[in-house]
A and B are shown apart, each in its own frame.
Chain A
Amino acid sequence: MGDITLFGLPISLGTMIYQALIFTVLVFILKKLVFKKLVGVLDSRKQHIENQLQLTEQYKLEAEKNLELSAEVLNQARKDAREIMRHSEHEAKLMILDAKAQAKDIQKEVKEDAFRSQSFMHKDSKGA
């Protein structure tokens, strides 16, 4: 049984038409309801990942720059500290020298004072 025969084979056209119809409908429904959304989601995920990668690259560069900057600041601080230390050492030496000189002066003065008072006492005792 069939609508037409081809080389002796019966072909039922209705079945073929139904098959063509249902597959076409399936493709269009799936395209509209499923694949459009799915492709959109895949694309936006790809975009998202690309953005994230770019952002990481950017952050990496920034971090490297910041690291360099902080190293520079640290070096500067070390240098400054050394400078300050040297300066203060120098000052301390000067102060010590100064103090020593002053101490000598004071000693000298004290000696002189003592000498003078001795001679004064001597004179006094002579007079008595």
Chain B
Amino acid sequence: MEHSRPQVVLFNLTFDLSIILTTTVASIMVFLIAYIATRNLTEGIPKKLQNFMEWIMDFVKDIMNNSLGPNNNLFILSTGVSLLMYLFIANLLGVPFSIITIEEHPVSWWRSPTADAHVTMTLAIMIIAYTHFIDIRLHGFKHYLHSFFKPFKALFAINILEQFATTLTLGLRLFGNIYAGEVMLALLAGAITHGFAIASLAAIPLLIWQAFCVFIGAIQAYIFVTLTMVYIAHRLT
């Protein structure tokens, strides 16, 4: 079951081509959905697609208002909606199928980008970095440094640790859920190599597990956005 990844080295940096492929596809899909849905905006009664976009936006706005209080920050709202759509689509990319080429050793080309810790940890680091940035911009650098020594100085180490822990849990929660789902899917789909009887036995569990993966993907995207808002709110107050 071990697949290596299609990696290339450019400018002394390693790029994982399969992740680049899937993240690009996910981004383009998010962009197209959002763009097509809001192409013909009306102030009157919204049509189906516009209604859909408005529903997503209201959903994220509710999450935002629950943790941040009444807030009209367009950047945080766009980040939340983009995250929700991007993560949901990224989580779903690996559910219907995966592409593995076998030459000298099997190379996995198509799976959920979020089933790779690089992607989720990058997003988590970006979000935690953004919360630190907000804190510095709102309260000044001095207050930011002092916040590590609160409520008293002895907790400095724990406060530092907390930042690493939140980053890690934020990224790895999503990664673990999606990765586990993919591994299970691969196992069930692999039953096809063991003959017709076993494959037909695995068909129904595979279907159920795929549905469950869709559910998990939606829940994890929601949790990621909610936690993002909570961490931002933590810095705002």
The interface of chain A, by Cβ under 8 A from chain B, is: 1-3, 11-20, 22-27, 29-31, 33-39, 41-42, 44-45, 48
In the complex where A22-B27, A38-B53 touch, is A12 in contact with B13 (Cβ < 8 A)? Answer: yes
Q: Which of B23, B42, B121 contacts A41 (CB 8 A)?
A: B42
Partner of B123, one of A23, A29, A45: A23
Question: Which residue of B16, B41, B126 is within 8 Å of A38 (Cβ)?
Answer: B41
Q: Pick the contact of A27 from B35, B42, B79 — CB < 8 Å?
A: B79
Bitwise, B74-95 to A at CB < 8 A (1) or not (0) is 1101110110001000000000
Task: Evaluate contact between B123 and A19: CB separation under 8 angstroms.
Answer: yes
A23 to chain B minimum Cβ distance, whole angstroms, is 7
The reply to whether the CB of B119 lies closer than 8 angstroms to some CB of chain A is yes
Distance (whole angstroms) from the CB of A33 to the closest CB of chain B: 6
Q: A-facing mask of B116-136, CB < 8 A → 1, else 0?
A: 101101110010000000000
Name the prevailing secondary structure of the A interface residues.
helix
Asked if residues B77 and A39 are in contact (CB atoms below 8 Å), the reply is yes
* CB closest chain-A residue, reference B14: A12
Interface residues of B (CB under 8 A from A): 7, 9-16, 19-20, 23-24, 27, 30-31, 34-35, 38, 41-44, 53-54, 57, 74-75, 77-79, 81-82, 86, 113, 116, 118-119, 121-123, 126
Q: Give Cα A118 to B81, complex, Å.
A: 124
A17 touches which of B13, B24, B123 (Cβ 8 Å)? B13
Q: Which residues of A contact B44 (CB under 8 A)?
A: 45
Residue from A13, A15, A26, A38 within 8 A of B27 (CB atoms): A26
In the bound complex, do residue A18 and residue B57 qualify as a contact, i.e. CB atoms below 8 Å apart? no
The answer on a CB contact under 8 Å between A31 and B75 is yes
Whether B57 lies near A1 (C-beta < 8 A) is no
* Of the residues A12, A31, A35, A48, contact of B16 by C-beta under 8 Å: A12
State in angstroms the CA–CA spacing of A30 and B82 once bound together: 7
A41–B7 touching, CB < 8 Å? no
Identity of the chain A residue whose Cβ is nearest the Cβ of B17 in the assembled complex: A15
